[in-house]
Amino acid sequence: MSKISVRVYYEDTDSGGVVYYANYLKFIERSRSEYLRDLGFEQDDLTVNHNTIFAVRSLNAQYRAPAKFNDLLTVQTNIEKVGHASLTFLQKIMHSSKKTVLFKAQITIACLHADNFKPCGIPSLILEKVNG
């Protein structure tokens, strides 16, 4: 499991003062990148040295309660399923002090060759860290 903190800035909100719905997707994307970084992988290195990129294949999101300007949020990322060429994540965004789940999503990420965007197996060095 990986956790990051995200502060809600004015630019993240809509005219009602709550986080604009698409920005939750940015927050969980950031958390997945940090998850890989915590495992020792940089996405630009995977592209250049392993011809590998990850792309969102599917997303199921539930918006449960609004986050507001200046809130401190915790984004939690867990791998739910490891496939040959995909990873399925369960991610939650919570208000840091209240521990209330504001948003949750299940995201399947496909592993692709960076040069032609065709599916490929997840490199073994990643699978070892994910499964280990």
The percent of residues above 70 in pLDDT, for the chain, comes to 100
Q: Which domains does the chain have, with CATH numbers?
A: 2-131 (3.10.129.10)
Residue 1 reports pLDDT greater than 90: no
**Cβ count near 9 (within 10 Å):** 11
Catalytic residue among 14, 38, 44, 115: 14
What's this model's pTM, rounded to 2 decimal places?
0.93
Q: Which residues pair with 54 in a beta bridge?
A: 111
Per-residue pLDDT, averaged over 17-27, amounts to: 97
Is-catalytic flag, 14? Answer: yes
pLDDT of residue 101: 96
Query: How are strands ordered across the β-sheet holding 52-63?
Result: 2-7, 72-82, 86-95, 101-113, 52-63
Residue 98 reports pLDDT greater than 90: no
Residue pLDDT, tens place only, 28-65? 999 999 999 999 999 999 999 999 999 999 999 999 99
For the stretch 96-102, contacts whose Cβ atoms lie closer than 8 Å and that sit 24 or more positions apart, written own/partner, are 96/5, 96/71, 96/72, 97/72, 100/65, 101/64, 101/65, 102/63, 102/64, 102/65, 102/66, 102/67, 102/73
Instruction: Using pLDDT thresholds of 50, 70 and 90, give the confidence band for residue 99.
Output: confident
